[in-house]
Amino acid sequence: MIIVKRVVKVRLLPSPEQKAAWADAYAALHAKVRAGNYGAPGCVRRRKVETNPIRFRDDAAQPFDARCLSWQLHAPGRGGTVSIWTVAGRMRDVRLLGSPMDLARLAATKIGQTDLVLRDGYLLLYAVVDEPEAPSQMPVNGFLGVDLGIVNIATTSDGHRATGGRLNRYRNRQLRMRKRLQAKKTASARRLLKKRRRREARFVADLNHQISKSIVAEAERTERGVAVERLTGIRARVRLRKSQRATVHSWAFGQLGKYLEYKSRRAGVAFVQVDPAYTSQTCSRPGCGYVDKKNRRTQALFVCVRCDFVGHADHNAARNIAERGVARWGEAMRPYAAPILAPS
């Protein structure tokens, strides 16, 4: 992310990427209409969607490419300028402000599409660069299973737990503060709400970066892969009490999964997603594998009713995920042979 230091107010000429985005928006809308997402033919909602054109905000993000935006970067980490094409002509020598690491990466790699975003009075440039991935290595020692949760954000099959107590306390504090400021309904309260609106998201992203970095580093050190649960659609499948909805819907498991995936690929670590069904109810003891809802005594306690194996419930689930990761990797790499790796 690069910050454009000078803020200007101009009308930008639509780029080829912008026109393609408009076409994609209409194509997606027509597909949703055909699928019946807006109701049956003739209903009020569907008729309103079909008759009203798609409108974009005046300050919406603007995509650019090398024909519309050019970079003039100085020495690595020393800033530079950018030239932007607008309907009023080309704006030249617009100064850039960014971290030395980001500027050095821009100077060393090829820059692809760039999005110009207006946020909090600043124009931000989101540049896409090609970063080479490390050669993928075979997980010779199996997989490191990762169980994702709310009480424990991530639990590995080695027994390491990243607890969510600090995050949950922070979220509850932010929720109480938002309620208090919203109840005041004053100009100063609204200004403070606007100032703090992305603070919680930044805190969660930083925490997920730290957790994913440590997990991938441990898998790389021990020559293992990373196996996580495929939790897509869990919010729609699970029925919750009203008091639990805010907690579950603020659960950033998707972001942590994406961080694990791209950090694994950058480090050359194998990454797989497995089916999470019954991982918390299955005994992970070798030779048992008994599945029963009664095995999960409490949120943290797992006791197998067949072999009397006792352990932490999240650790037990992570071990099952690691074993399924081995099977999933064997299916992907050797579809006509049984997997030969051993779980961690």
| pLDDT per position as a tens digit, 137-190 | 888 899 999 998 888 889 999 999 998 888 888 888 988 999 999 999 899 999
Q: pLDDT confidence of 6, banded at 50, 70, 90?
A: very low
pLDDT digits (tens, 9 = 90+) for 312-321: 999 999 999 9
The whole-chain average pLDDT of the chain stands at: 82
3-state class (DSSP) for residue 192: helix
Q: pLDDT confidence of 8, banded at 50, 70, 90?
A: very low
Please report whether residue 85 resides in a domain.
yes
Looking at the predicted structure, is the pLDDT value of residue 244 above 70? no
Quote the CA–CA distance of 83 and 90 in Å, as a whole number.
Answer: 7
Please report whether residue 190 resides in a domain.
no
Asked whether residue 149 falls in the same domain as residue 269, the answer is: yes
Query: Mean per-residue pLDDT for 191-217?
Result: 90
Q: Which of the residue ranges 21-25, 119-123, 241-245, 317-321 would you say has the lowest mean pLDDT?
A: 241-245
74: tokens are 């100085």
Looking at the predicted structure, is the pLDDT value of residue 336 above 60? no
Please indicate whether residue 338 or residue 261 has the higher confidence score (pLDDT).
Answer: 261
Asked whether residue 287 falls in the same domain as residue 244, the answer is: yes
Domain that holds residue 64: 2-129
157: tokens are 């099959």
Asked whether residue 155 falls in the same domain as residue 302, the answer is: yes
Asked whether residue 105 falls in the same domain as residue 9, the answer is: yes
**Is there a contact between 275 and 230 (Cβ–Cβ < 8 Å)?**
yes
- pLDDT of 124 reads 86
- The beta strands (E) that lie in 141-279 are given as 143-148, 152-156, 161-163, 225-229, 271-274
Asked whether residue 44 falls in the same domain as residue 7, the answer is: yes
Q: b/e per residue, 31-57, with b = 16+ CB within 10 A? A: eeeeeeebeeeeeeebeebeeeeeeee
- pLDDT of 332 reads 65
Share above pLDDT 70 across residues of the chain, in percent, rounded to a whole number: 83
* Number of domains observed in the structure of the chain: 2
284: CATH:
3.30.420
Please report whether residue 137 resides in a domain.
no
Quote the CA–CA distance of 149 and 314 in Å, as a whole number.
Answer: 8
Please report whether residue 75 resides in a domain.
yes
pLDDT digits (tens, 9 = 90+) for 68-118: 888 888 766 567 888 888 778 888 888 888 888 888 888 888 888 888 888
- pLDDT of 269 reads 93
pLDDT digits (tens, 9 = 90+) for 27-77: 888 888 888 888 888 888 888 888 888 887 777 888 888 788 888 887 665
Asked whether residue 31 falls in the same domain as residue 117, the answer is: yes
Please indicate whether residue 77 or residue 249 has the higher confidence score (pLDDT).
Answer: 249
Asked whether residue 155 falls in the same domain as residue 269, the answer is: yes
62 strand-pairing partners = 116
Domain boundary among 129, 151, 180: 129
Asked whether residue 29 falls in the same domain as residue 152, the answer is: no
Looking at the predicted structure, is the pLDDT value of residue 9 above 70? no
Please report whether residue 324 resides in a domain.
yes
Please report whether residue 184 resides in a domain.
no
- pLDDT of 7 reads 35
- pLDDT of 236 reads 60
Asked whether residue 152 falls in the same domain as residue 285, the answer is: yes
Q: pLDDT confidence of 216, banded at 50, 70, 90?
A: very high
Please report whether residue 225 resides in a domain.
yes
- pLDDT of 15 reads 58
Domain boundary among 73, 104, 129: 129
Please report whether residue 178 resides in a domain.
no
Asked whether residue 221 falls in the same domain as residue 324, the answer is: yes
Asked whether residue 202 falls in the same domain as residue 284, the answer is: yes
Share above pLDDT 90 across residues of the chain, in percent, rounded to a whole number: 25
Asked whether residue 156 falls in the same domain as residue 287, the answer is: yes
